[in-house]
Amino acid sequence: MSILDEIRDYMVKLDSEKVTNLVRKAIEQGFKPVEILNALTEGIRRVGDLYEKGEYFVSDLLMSAEIFKEAMTHLEPLILKETAGETIARVVIGTVEGDIHDIGKDLVITMLKVNGFEVIDLGVDVPSQKFVEAVKQYKPDILGMSALLTTTMWKMKEVIDALKREGLRDKVKIIIGGAVITEEFAKEIGADAYAKDAVDAIKVCKKLIEEQRKTK
Amino acid sequence: MSTIWERAVEVALGKKSDEIPIVLQVYALVLKRFARVKELEYYRNPVLQLQAKIAFQKRFPEVINIGMGTFPEYGEFVGPIPTAFGGELRWFDDQPPVVIKYPIREPEDVDRLAEAGIPEVTAGVAGEILKRLEYFYDWFPRDLREEYGYIDGAIMPGTVVEGAALAMGYDKFLIWMRRYPDVIHKWLKLATEWSLRYCKAQEEIVGKCRVMFVTDHTPHMVGGKLFLEFVLPYLNKIFRFCNKGIRIWHNEGRVGANLELVDKIDAEVWHFGPFDDETQVRAKTHFCLMGNLHPPEFAKLTPKEIEEKVRKLVLKVGIGKFWLSTGGGMAPGTPFRNIDALIRAAKKLERELTKR
């Protein structure tokens, strides 16, 4: 079994020590950072599949995100060095007001950066008006919003409605995500897209940018 | 002649199977409509809450409104444990409060809390809730208490293991189970002990526990060994406080592979959601099932569609050890004619299935 397969499999087993050690070893052995990233990403994707089947739980998803974050402390500098200057698009992202969970958002940010996106992180507990101001200031291609709680998810609609009122809605693509978010909810509130996890978020963001460039 | 509550209990215990008790959880999100106020005003006004709860009951005499439905509402769901230990809630104009400041940020904070000792039961929002419980005890009408099992002996600890999680954020709590298991155990012991004292304080107002309603979603967040180690023992400690009463566990999240494990939860009723197959839940667990019409869907269906859904559900789950409900608290914006449709459908099925 190759070291990349081991990285993937230990990610699925949620063994953080093994994953980190193997990532360091793979770097030393000269594997390309993007290959190592792909192995980690594949591991996370399989964790997501097990979650969809009901065999893994939210705690397992969070642990895989934590392991990924730790592994990325070794990889991210190398990947960013390789992709320096190449930006696909600009993303502004934050967790909505009243919600201070950030682990999912931070995972998406890491994945976006290593996939060539420029990311502005507004943090957590972001008031709706601050999202609007960030869209005005940074003119992002994509606005990403995260919420973990059913009590805070409706803040996303507040942001979308505020953007409409300010005539900004059609200037930005909106993607939403979080444990309580669904595709139906995204459609209901007028978001452009929903991502079920960080891996999906990258695919969705790339697709949004592609569509945006076709219409320009 | 037995009361609606007594008959519901008999159905829950499997002693009666010719009735479909209708047991809902209708609270702030819907009841604020009574006085056409925003949620914050509803939370601030215990007199209004009492009036709204009584009015809902009078409107729907066939329904038992359990849990938060007839308990004072003031952050009672998320607030007790986090705020007792120094956390803070943020209150919004028209939505439920959330925990915005965690008392636990680093593992050392648990040591600090342990050294400080168990807080008073009146610490945080619990103090205000207990005052309002006294008020409800004084003023909730005798006939409703007797007919529906409200107030007297009705205990609500709020969230338990989940409350402990909310004191540091779910993500930290779930990751620390693996990273710092001793810290989590230490914290859960503190939180559970406080919660037991809070239950005792409620008993001093409303009398010996006859019915306990516990909201806890951690069984769908944590699987296998972690569930058995970090969730089950603490949850059961709280449920055993009321071991001579009827205990309802509320969790509408999908438990999936945990189904055989949640069967070990020491409760008689599971208020479950639409994400686990009803036949599997029935086969693999001992509970009287309460549910499980999806609340946002229930709010949008026509009365005719509701009657069809209810029929399909009851024929699948079977009559007996089943309380008809939504799979979670009733969604804001649910038209009352939909509740009328639910009641009609249940009564029609009762007659049909028991040939009355």
What's residue A85's pLDDT? 63
Tell me if chain B has a CB within 8 Å of the CB of A39: no
Most confident of A66-70, A88-92, A179-183: A88-92
Q: Cβ(B24)–Cβ(B339) under 8 Å?
A: yes
Structure pTM?
0.90
Contact (CB<8Å) A151/B226: no
Confidence of residue A216 (pLDDT cuts 50, 70, 90): low
HEC string of A101-121 equals CCHHHHHHHHHHHHCCCEEEE
Which spans in B64-119 are helix H? 80-84, 107-116
Nearest-CB residue to B169 (from A57, A100, A154): A100
Rounded CA separation B33/B39 (Å): 9
Side-chain-side CA neighbours of residue A83 (13 Å): 19
| Higher-scoring residue by pLDDT: A25, A178 | A25
Phi-psi sector, B333: left (phi>0), alpha (psi -120 to 50), beta: left
Q: Which of B39, B93, B173, B174 to mutate to test the interface with A (most CBs of A within 10 A)?
A: B174
B222 interaction partners in chain A (CB closer than 8 Å)? 57-59
Q: How confident is the model at residue B184, as a pLDDT?
A: 98
Cα-based angle B44, B202, B129 (whole degrees, multiple of 5): 10
pLDDT of residue A24: 96
Comparing CA positions, the residue from A84, A98, A99, A94 lying closest to residue A120 is: A94
**CA of B176, closest CA in chain A: separation in Å?**
9
B100/A125 CB distance under 8 A: yes
> 3-state DSSP: chain B helix, strand, coil percent, rounded to 5?
55, 15, 35
Pick the residue from chain B with its C-alpha nearest to A124. B100
pLDDT at B109: 98
DSSP 8-state secondary structure symbol assigned to residue B330: P
Rg (CA), chain B: 20
Whats the size of chain B, residue-wise?
356
- A196-208 pLDDT per residue, tens: 888 889 999 999 9
Q: Could you give the CA distance from residue A36 to residue B133 in angstroms, rounded to a whole number?
A: 58
* Domains assigned to chain A: 3-82 (1.10.1240.10), 90-215 (3.40.50.280)
Answer whether B170 sits within 8 Å of A148, measured CB to CB.
yes
The angle formed by the CA atoms of residues B22, B282 and B336, to the nearest 5 degrees, is: 25
Average pLDDT in chain A: 91
For residues B104 and A99, what is the distance between their CA atoms, to the nearest angstrom? Answer: 16
Phi, psi (degrees; rounded to nearest 5) at A194: -130, 140
- Write the CA distances from B156 to A44, B76, B202, integer angstroms: 39, 8, 8
A124-134 in b/e burial notation, b at 16+ Cβ within 10 A?
bbbbbeebbeb
Tell me which chain A residue has its CA closest to the CA of residue B92.
A98
A149 or B169, higher pLDDT: B169
Q: Do B92 and A66 touch (CB under 8 A)?
A: no
The 10s digit of each residue's pLDDT in A22-61 is 999 999 999 999 899 999 989 988 998 898 888 899 899 8
Residues of B with Cβ-Cβ distance to A64 under 8 angstroms: none
Coil, strand or helix: which one is A134?
Answer: helix
Q: Is the pLDDT of residue A3 over 70?
A: yes
Amino acid B117: pLDDT:
97
- A–B interface: beta-carbon pairs under 8 A: 63
Residue B329 is classified by DSSP as S
> Could you say which of A60, A103, A149 has the minimum Cβ distance to residue B98?
A149
What percentage of residues in chain A have a pLDDT greater than 90?
60
Q: Provide the pLDDT confidence category of residue A133 given band limits of 50, 70 and 90.
A: very high
Contacts of residue A84, Cβ cutoff 8 Å, sequence gap at least 6: none
- The answer for residues whose C-beta is within 8 angstroms of residue B76's C-beta and 6 or more apart is B68, B125, B129, B156, B158
Amino acid identity at A156: M
DSSP state of B69: G
What H or E segment, with its residue span, contains residue B58?
helix B46-59
CA–CA separation, B291 vs B310, rounded Å?
10
Quote ipTM for the complex: 0.85
For chain B (356 residues), the mean pLDDT of every run of 10, in chain order, is 95 94 96 95 97 97 95 94 97 90 97 98 98 98 97 95 94 94 98 98 98 94 94 98 97 90 97 92 96 91 95 93 94 93 95 82
Strands B22-24 and A142-146: what pairing? unpaired
Burial classification of residue A154, based on how many CB atoms lie within 10 Å of its CB (0-12 exposed, 13-18 middle, 19 or more buried): middle
Kindly list the residues from chain B whose CB atom is less than 8 angstroms away from the CB atom of residue A53.
256
* DSSP line for B123-159: TTHHHHHHHHHHHHHHHS-HHHHHHH--STTEEEEEE
Taking the C-alpha atoms of residue B20 and residue B36, their distance in angstroms, rounded to an integer, is: 32
- In sequence order, the β-bridge partners of residue B349 are none
What CATH class has B4-354? alpha beta
Give the distance between the most distant pair of CA atoms in chain B. 64
Structure tokens at B199: 């239950």
- pLDDT value, residue B356: 58
DSSP A56: S
DSSP H helix total and E strand total for chain B: 18, 10
Q: Mind listing the pLDDT tens digit for each residue in B136-172?
A: 999 999 999 999 999 999 999 999 999 999 999 988 9
For residues A63 and B170, what is the distance between their CA atoms, to the nearest angstrom?
Answer: 12
